[in-house]
Each structure stands twice: as structure tokens, then as C-alpha cells.
Structure 1
């Protein structure tokens, strides 16, 4: 690592030069840093806005899942079988599915070796369980905080290796020239009062971009409030995105942002709604279900069918609950709660009775020795940690109901990468959730595996192909100067704005409401078209935000890149709907000619079914010279079937040409 200075407009800005810069401090980023150092790369550094502020460190569920190849039990498994499970979700490239399957055990055992306490039995078998879209028992977990414990163990490795970390640095721009990245510009939030506003320039041969999902895009969101995401920086620089139509949405608590999946649903809590004052309590689901047994079973199934899925609406399926919660909260303006203190009263139906549950729910509770008591008593029996987790955040499930909503949770799409996770912008590697390697449906927990495998592949590519610096500081200087000048102009314009301009909070609320209302789990073409034009107009107003102090600079600049990003998402959704795409994944496409959900929900709630041909395609999105996005369908690549002969593989590995593919 070298240090230089750059003089622009009478200001002296610090420059840090490294071979590889890793942006972000989640599980994928930290693993990439650890692996690079393991491969002998010493000239690297991590830059992050908050070392423990990412999604990996701050999210989980009742039993957060890690998905890998099955290595215990009598059922046979193979990388090709796992690849099929990933590929069959639709709109995922087959070679990436196979890579994620082949790398899953190396990623998993690396985590186990550095201290992540994945459970095994007395024989040493890492036993598993089934998760959603999983044909075998490939899932494992260390409890509610699996990804947090991954971060903690990986961070210990990074610190042990003495890899430099630049904390409290917000990356605000990428330095890209001729489809090649040369570095980034960041704001050191501890130096905002300086003449150069805390700007720091990082020169890098390679940039690993592990900035997480677009947490700041939605108003109703389970992403941690401190995590915004930064995909807009790469989109603005010309990075290609894929499958931005595909995100996951599901029920989550709102006071403390947390997914209410798994055991929270399997204990069958009451669902109640109130007016905004917390009065007029109603078991609002009762009028839509034919019996308490059917309702209780749907709630139970919501546990491991947690993400909203249009295929699970018919026949009083579990995802009907998400639609009804949305109607209650958004259309009727009421508040919805899960109440663990008593069983379903069955107002208008028969009282709750275990024997009325369908066999799947009854058998699960029976095997769990939980056919007794109230939901909170069953939860204490089956998963006491789930109660403790909320208690740690000031919510006592024993004495109060839990307010919930249907929230944005995970982005299956993201930035496009090749077989080594390299972007169309050379030497830029999007890894973790910002990488769009997933398809429409994915087994629960596969995102954690994907992040670890992507980090490994990135580290291998850099260590074997991009390990040397080829750009001198003198050559870098004019590239940096142009981008820094643009950012200084923008910053100074923001600081000059009067208090009469739109506040940064109002500016953010505008695009968040737009995304929640038109681009979340309920979508309609005419509304998306209107939203897209409004999005482009809002981008033009990004420099007009009003700041009360320099401390709000990072927030205003984050708002700008999020506004740029939300236009890309809306463009992709518009293209998909205009092509005739229907309901799939985790969203419902409303159509007057579509299928009726229920008679009680009325004619407004008809939806278009999925069109299978779109599963054989991926949707790529990239920004044009005019600042507007274009989206285009491309056929997905199949799972590779060629024979891998050891002698030829050994030769390409010895020669290093395997890393050039």
C-alpha cells in the first residue's frame, strides 16, 4: 500500500494505492480478503462505511439457513444434483449453478475450520434439514444469527492477517474509464470538516464490490436500517445488471426488523388487526378461510414457505396470508400483529383444535412434542432463542403482540458477473447479495453459499491473473481528477442549497414509497410505467437536496445513487411486464384478465399466471449514454455437461490457463 496526494481546485486530497480494494465488510467481502491473503496477496485493503453495519451482521431469522451439498445421511447427492436444484428455479445460468454447487463444500468447511459452530453429530456428520425449494436435506444452521457468526469468525481471520481496514468510509463513486475500473472515491466520515470534505481517493488494480443488497430502496423493508446498499454506483458507471425483477418479499416485524419465518409461524400465532390507535381488534383472516383448521395450517406452512410465492395462493395456501396482510395494511390502512399469547379464537369459525390441522402441520407439532398450550408456550418448547431474540430488542412476546408487514427482504437479481464473478467492467468483481447470480426461485440459504463461493472465485482470479499493478500513479492521476472534479462540483452544489429545497429525508421517502407501491410484491404495468418516468425526473433533482450540515453529505449522496438504482429496477420490471411476464418468484402481477384470488377480495385482485418461457431467459439491464436504462432478454446458459478428464484438467491447472476461462 502506498500513499500519495492529489491537488484539485486548491484542495489536497489523500490517495491510497493498493493492488486490490475490497468494498464492504459482509461475509462475502471478508471471506474474499481472507482468501486473497491465503493465496499470497498482501497488497490489499478493505473500505467500509461501518464495519458491523451490513446485512450479514445484522439480519437472520428463527433459524438462519446455510445451503450446501448434503454430506450426511443415506440419500445420495452430487454437485450436479445440487446444480439442478439451483438451475430449476429458473432464469439462472447453469454454469454458475454448477460452480456454486462445486464450491459449496470448500466454502462450508472453511467456515467450520475458522470457528463457525455448524452442528455435527457424535460421528462427525454435519446433518441437514430441508428448506424451501430444496429436494434434499442440504440446509444447516447455527441458529438465528448464522451470518453474524460467519462475519465474526471471518473478521477475526482478517484481523489476524493484519489486513488494513478503512472504517467509516462511504464509497460515493467508481473511477471507470473505457470499461475498466481504476479505483473509487470515498468520504471519510471522521474528516467531513476538512477543506476537501473528507474525500479520499483509492487507486486499485482490482475492486471487489461487496456492498450488499439494495436495502435503502423500499419503505417497507426488513433490511437493517443502517444498511442502504450501493448498487447504484456501479449501475451509473455502466456495470450490467441481471434479473432486477427478482427480489424476495415476506412477513417481517417492523419495530425491530426481523423475518418472522420458521418457528414463529409453526407455533400458529393469532393474526389480528387494529386501527391506527391500536383499537378495534379483529382476527381479520377468519372471513377468508373456510375453517380454523385450514387457517391454522396455512399459518403453520408460512414457516418454511415464508417468502411470498404466487404459487402458494390457491386453495387457501400460505401466501394468501401475505396478500391479506397487504390488503389490511395498505388498502385499509390498519395495523397487523402476530399475537403469541393465545390460540386462534376462531371468531366466525370453530374454536382452534389441533386435530383440525392438516396432516403435515399436525405431524410436525406432534414430533416436536408441541401439541399443547398457547403459541408462546409452544415457541418456548420448540425455539426459546426466538423469544430471547425479541426480548433483547425490547419486545416481550409473552406480554405484547408483534407488529408485522410484508417487507422487501433479499434481491435475487443484481450485478452481472462471469464465471469468476467479474463484471463487464474489467477488474470489478460484484460478490455477495449485490451479485445477480440467483434465478427466480432459490433454495433457502443458498445466498450465503453463493456469497462464499463468489468470494473464493474472485480471490482465485485475482491471485492468478491480476496480482500485479499495471497502472502507475501518474497514469491514474488524470482519470481520478476528472471524477473527483465531478464529485466536488456536486458536493458544493448540495452545500449551497437553501433550506427551501427538498430535505434529504423527503427525497428518500419519495423513491422508497414509489418502490414499495409499484415494484414490490404487488405489480401492475400501468403503475410501473408511471413510476419509471417519475423516477427519471427525481434523479434530475438529486442535486437539489437540502442539507442542514456537512454530516448529511453521505446521506444525500447515498440518496442520489439509490435514486439512480431504482430507475434500473423499474425499467427491468417494465420490460418484463410489457413482454407478457406473469406472476412468479415473490411477486404478483395484477391483471383484469387474470385469475381471481378469492371471491371476497373482489375483481381488483386478479393476477396473471407465470409464463414458463421466461424461466429460460435472463433479463439484462444497462444504462445508456442518455442516462436511461435498456433491458434485454438473453437465453440462459445450460449446466455444463462436458467430460472433465483429469490429465487435461491437471495440465490447464499447472499452466494457470484454467483461470483465464
Structure 2
């Protein structure tokens, strides 16, 4: 085992991790662990944009109100107000960093950048970079981080466990690309590892997180909150032969309508807001229509918009769908709901601090209280920015801790045999089948109890792997996924109501 010392260790290099690194590096040395492949994680796949009060006719109070309504009575209003109030400054910071947001070219534009509207928002307040906002933000911030002399980026290590001493978290254990164990001592450790949509069969990103950061934090005693509120995006491209691809909610925001396989528009039957209803309502409506018709998908239709408008607003979607043989300018897009965003996670304060000293969580891995029972569109990247900047402010003043923790790793035998190829991955696929069948968009008590029993059986199989073989990224990912899936199912069983993203046939919705 090799060892290294770090001042601030950030695990995860999406928008949250990169923002924190750049905001903190003027005061402290930062080590940022990020995936070798950019397609891992959610940030780069965020299409729609970032919600903030930017237009003259918009107000902070309106953004707060829309967020509280979408959260179905379970938002922490203090966290909502904190996020919304710090939103404009966060966008201004991104603009200063050079993010190429799409400009509004109309002569009477009240704001220099184009703002779109998405479900749950009462007005246009989504700033975006065409239909690839996450990629634009990540690329811009990554270039800045690479050029910063006090930021060290490491791409060849995968964290598998956090370490703790009497003072709290003191770093992490990781595996390099050769499977060798590394001990990373750190004064402060920040999780920016993403959510848990990888617990499900269909997702909106090709390599989603499986709750690794949540599980590692829980192992140290950190609280996991609101795990039952797993958001399913209503419109993922339906293509069983190809990788996951999200069709942005902005398509509906610009006038796209949902139709069944017979061409009938159905959303007005479910909600007076139609396609702009909150995502949980739209996802359940799509699932109901698919079940009613016995179809594998529904259609998202924007062919009534001018072709040039479609090409201007959605160049990435146009280009990607064309590679799948679909011309969205002239034919509807087949779509299906898919696991997208975890509203729950590691409980934190407004500064990103967890219950464990010297351990912070930012981005999707964290539960800040902003989203409540249902995340409103484009509030996620806003949360990444605001809480990363807030955590940076807290960490600037907390840097006197000695690096003397032992960070024990007695259970990790580097000399044990490697596990059989594919066994852990096969168990993870079985877990995804269980969660998709029994703990997805629509649930029941019986289904959740079945999931509980099946997860216990999978855990026994996973434990046998860990007992016989040395740790690998695959076996540890399976273990983390089992931890979070089990906690999610338990949280869903404990909630005796249907609210927001948690819909249980056996319990009626609570009126808020």
C-alpha cells in the first residue's frame, strides 16, 4: 500500500467538485479525484440548463414558491431561500469563468442570454448553453482547474472507502488502475460523487453513480435522508440497442407535446399544466399510457416547431437522434421514463458539512433540503454551484488539523486472489432488475417487501465475494449499491403516504 498526504481531498469532478476546487484553491491546496472517462457521472450529461432569477420580470420569491410547490411540502424552506438568493451570483461567476451560454439575439431582449422554461417554473428562468449545458460548464471549469497551480487532478484512482479517526474523517482508501491500494490522508474530505440512479435498469446517463458516496459516508455514521425520493426523468430516448440518452425537459418547455402511439396528446388528461407539470406527474402519466396501450414508449412531438428553431435550440439532440435514425424535425421522438436524479442523500447543512467532522458532501450525493419530495427542473446544477461555493467559504477557515490519522485498512488484503470477472457486475444487474421491478415510479407495500427479501439474498452473495477475494472497484461498487438500495427500500416502506416522487398504490397522497 502506498500513502500520500492531501490538504483538501475532493472525490468527484463534476460541476460541484470543480466549482469547489476553483473557489477554494486560493487559500488551500486541493486534490481532485475525477473519473478517467468524462461520461462517468451526471454533470456532463445535463442538457437543459441552470435555474436562477435573471430576467427583470422574475423575482426571488417566485422561484422560491415554484420550488416549494414542486417539492410537495417537504422542502426545507431555509435551504430553498439560501439557494435561490445565491443563484444570480453563481451564474455571474460561471459567466466570468467563460461558460459559453446561449445569447438572446432578439432586439428587445430584457436579458443578454436566452432563458428557457421547464416543468414547474412559472416563467422563463433557465440559462443554458444550447442543449449541452452540463458539458459546456464541465469543459470550462476543467480547463480552469487544469491550469491552476494549487489544484492537483488525479484520474487513475477510484475511492472505495472513507477513513476516520477520533477527529472525524481523515481521508480515503482508493484502488489505482492496477488494483493496488492507496491510502490518501486528508485534513478535509469532500464527497462530490453523484447520486444513485445507477440502482435502476434504465437511466439517463451511460455510467451513472450507484450511491457509492452515500454508502461510504453512511459507513462512518453519516445520516442518509429522503432516499425514497428517486426522480425518474419522463423522457429518455427509447432505443434498446443504444446507450442511454436524455431528451431534455427544455424540449417540452419550448412547446413539445407528448402523444401516445396512436398520436393522441394525453398530458391534459392528467394535469392542467400539461407537459409542463412537475416531472413526477409526467413520468407517472407516461407509464400509465404505456401500460394502457401495452407499448414500450410514447412519442415526444416537436414537429410543429420550425426546423430552424429546433436546430438552434437542440443541436445536440438533433445530432444524436440522427445517429439513431430519427429526424426530430419531421418525426416524433420515442421516449420512456428513466432513473435520473436522487433527491435524497447525505444530510448536510448550508455549508455542505455532514454529521461527521471534516466530511463534506456537495452536489447530488448530498441532501440539502432544496428538493424535498421532487426536484424541480434545472435546480440541480444551481444546487451544485451554490453549495460548492458555500462549502469553499467554510473550508477556507478550517485548515489547522494535523495529518496523523492511521486510516486502518486491515480488512483489505492486497494479496488475496482476484474475484472472477463479471460476477460482481452480474449481481449488480440483478439488483437493478429488483429495483426497477419493485421500487421505481409506482410502488406497493408487497413489491417493496419483495425487494427487501431479494436484496438480502443478493447481499449474502456479495458478502461471499468480499470474504473470498481481494477488493476491486466492481465488488466495492456492488457493496455500496446494496447498502443504498436497501436503505432506499426501507425508507420507502416507512413512508405511509404517496408524496412527490414516492408513489405507493397502497397509500393515498397527502394533501399539502
Q: TM-score, normalised by structure 2?
A: 0.86
CA drift at 1:519? 1.3
CA drift at 1:51? 5.4
- Contact 1:252 1:407 (8 Å CA) reproduced: yes
Identify the match of residue 175 of structure 1 among 154, 160, 163: 163
Establish whether residue 320 from structure 1 lines up as the match of residue 320 from structure 2: no
Establish whether residue 610 from structure 1 lines up as the match of residue 509 from structure 2: yes
Corresponding residue number in structure 1 for 2:477 = 558
Corresponding residue number in structure 1 for 2:188 = 206
- Contact 2:210 2:480 (8 Å CA) reproduced: no
* Larger displacement relative to structure 2 (521-530 or 298-307): 298-307
SS in structure 2 opposite 1:539? Answer: helix
Identify the match of residue 485 of structure 1 among 402, 406, 410: 410
Cα distance, 1:326–1:117 mapped onto 2, change above 3 Å: farther
CA–CA separation in structure 1 for the residues paired with 2:173 and 2:98 = 35
* Larger displacement relative to structure 2 (46-55 or 405-414): 46-55
Corresponding residue number in structure 2 for 1:308 = 280
Instruction: Tell me how large the CA RMSD over aligned residues is.
Output: 3.4
- Contact 1:133 1:442 (8 Å CA) reproduced: no
Corresponding residue number in structure 2 for 1:82 = 63
The CA deviation string for residues 488-516 of structure 1, in whole angstroms up to 9 with x for no partner, is: 2xx66662x578xx822320112111111
Cα distance, 1:178–1:246 mapped onto 2, change above 3 Å: farther
User: 1:444-455 to 2 correspondence within 5 Å?
Assistant: 444-455=377-388
Cα distance, 1:114–1:261 mapped onto 2, change above 3 Å: closer
Establish whether residue 590 from structure 1 lines up as the match of residue 509 from structure 2: no
Cα distance, 1:180–1:139 mapped onto 2, change above 3 Å: same
Identify the match of residue 374 of structure 2 among 422, 441, 459: 441
Cα distance, 1:568–1:102 mapped onto 2, change above 3 Å: same
CA drift at 1:404? 3.8
Corresponding residue number in structure 1 for 2:396 = 463
CA drift at 1:148? 1.0
Name stretches of at least 5 consecutive residues in structure 2 with no aligned partner. none
Q: Which has the larger radius of gyration?
A: 1
- Contact 2:120 2:277 (8 Å CA) reproduced: no
User: 1:540-555 to 2 correspondence within 5 Å?
Assistant: 540-545=460-465, 553-555=472-474
CA drift at 1:444? 1.2
CA drift at 1:179? 7.3
SS in structure 1 opposite 2:412? Answer: helix
Name stretches of at least 5 consecutive residues in structure 1 with no aligned partner. 1-12, 193-197, 273-282, 287-291, 313-317, 344-364, 371-375, 592-607, 614-661
Corresponding residue number in structure 2 for 1:95 = 78
User: 1:78-157 to 2 correspondence within 5 Å?
Assistant: 78=60, 80-88=61-69, 89=71, 90-121=73-104, 125-126=112-113, 128-157=115-144
- Contact 2:211 2:484 (8 Å CA) reproduced: no
CA–CA separation in structure 2 for the residues paired with 1:152 and 1:612 = 43
Q: TM-score, normalised by structure 1?
A: 0.68
SS in structure 2 opposite 1:55? Answer: coil
User: 1:78-477 to 2 correspondence within 5 Å?
Assistant: 78=60, 80-88=61-69, 89=71, 90-121=73-104, 125-126=112-113, 128-162=115-149, 163-178=151-166, 180-189=168-177, 191-192=178-179, 198-225=180-207, 227-230=209-212, 231-249=214-232, 250-253=234-237, 254=239, 255-262=242-249, 266-268=255-257, 271-272=260-261, 283=262, 292=264, 303-305=275-277, 307-309=279-281, 319-326=284-291, 335-336=296-297, 338=299, 370=306, 379=310, 383=314, 385-391=316-322, 393-397=323-327, 404-437=335-368, 438-464=371-397, 466-468=398-400, 470-473=401-404, 476-477=405-406
Establish whether residue 54 from structure 1 lines up as the match of residue 40 from structure 2: yes
Corresponding residue number in structure 1 for 2:22 = 34
CA drift at 1:300? 12
- Contact 1:243 1:414 (8 Å CA) reproduced: yes
SS in structure 1 opposite 2:217? Answer: helix
CA drift at 1:538? 2.3
SS in structure 2 opposite 1:109? Answer: helix
- Contact 1:268 1:299 (8 Å CA) reproduced: no
- Contact 1:262 1:303 (8 Å CA) reproduced: no
CA drift at 1:168? 2.4
- Contact 1:59 1:224 (8 Å CA) reproduced: no
Cα distance, 1:518–1:159 mapped onto 2, change above 3 Å: same
- What is the aligned residue count? 495
Corresponding residue number in structure 2 for 1:640 = none
* Larger displacement relative to structure 2 (28-37 or 104-113): 104-113
SS in structure 1 opposite 2:352? Answer: coil
The CA deviation string for residues 226-257 of structure 1, in whole angstroms up to 9 with x for no partner, is: 64441222222221111111121123124231
Corresponding residue number in structure 2 for 1:67 = 51
Corresponding residue number in structure 2 for 1:360 = none
- Contact 2:297 2:336 (8 Å CA) reproduced: yes
